[in-house]
A and B are shown apart, each in its own frame.
Chain A
Amino acid sequence: DGGITQSPKYLFRKEGQNVTLSCEQNLNHDAMYWYRQDPGQGLRLIYYSQIVNDFQKGDIAEGYSVSREKKESFPLTVTSAQKNPTAFYLCASSTQTGQETQYFGPGTRLLVL
């Protein structure tokens, strides 16, 4: 059963804390993405990766970091430098052509304590 999984579903962050959101896909897709969703803002790109060991900043990368050590995995770390982290975070993947559909995970909602 192919797809994208994200964990946890809910994540609470204390001030000054780094937290990591997990994203795993078994679709054999080369490209993976992280988006942030806020009400009325649509989907804003944080980081994307076209291949293993390579990733690029998106429109709102400040305060976030990623790694791509395996094709299947693209974790996102929300650092303490991100002052307004409360949002719904979506991971997605696609084939390499750029014209194809993006497949989204179920999302992680990050809340600040």
Chain B
Amino acid sequence: QQQVKQSPQSLIVQKGGISIINCAYENTAFDYFPWYQQFPGKGPALLIAIRPDVSEKKEGRFTISFNKSAKQFSLHIMDSQPGDSATYFCAASKGGSYIPTFGRGTSLIVHP
């Protein structure tokens, strides 16, 4: 049973455009929602994270939007750049549990 559903599986965007990746979760006990960025042949690294007490968090060109009632959260990449081309994973975890649940990933390609 996939507890965090991520879409789309792949995304192609032109340079300067907005990239949007969506995730939906089922377990209402989740209270920490990170996004990871992974470049080819490398390990994932934390990009940005949010807790459910806020509806939006912005760091530079990257924004997480969080909708608690809909149990959805999304990553927006503004002014997308070719250097943003990578695989993005959303995840969810709950306090007291050591195991995050990952989405299946989105492969983003930004064309110059």
A43 CB to closest chain B CB (Å) equals 5
| Cα separation A102 to B35 with both chains bound (whole Å) | 11
Segment of B13-21, B55-63, B73-81, B101-109 engaged in the interface with chain A? B101-109
Residue A52 CB within 8 A of the other chain = no
A87 to chain B: which residues have CB within 8 Å? none
A99 to chain B: which residues have CB within 8 Å? 31-32, 93-95
In the complex with contacts A42-B89, A42-B103, A98-B94 CB distance below 8 A? yes
| Cα separation A104 to B32 with both chains bound (whole Å) | 18
Interface size of B by CB at 8 A reads 27
| Cα separation A103 to B31 with both chains bound (whole Å) | 19
Q: Encode contact with B along A38-53: 1 for CB under 8 Å, 0 otherwise.
A: 0011110100101000
Q: Encode contact with B along A92-104: 1 for CB under 8 Å, 0 otherwise.
A: 1010111111111
Q: Which A residues are closer than 8 A to B by beta carbons?
A: 4, 6, 31, 33, 40-43, 45, 48, 50, 58, 90, 92, 94, 96-107, 109
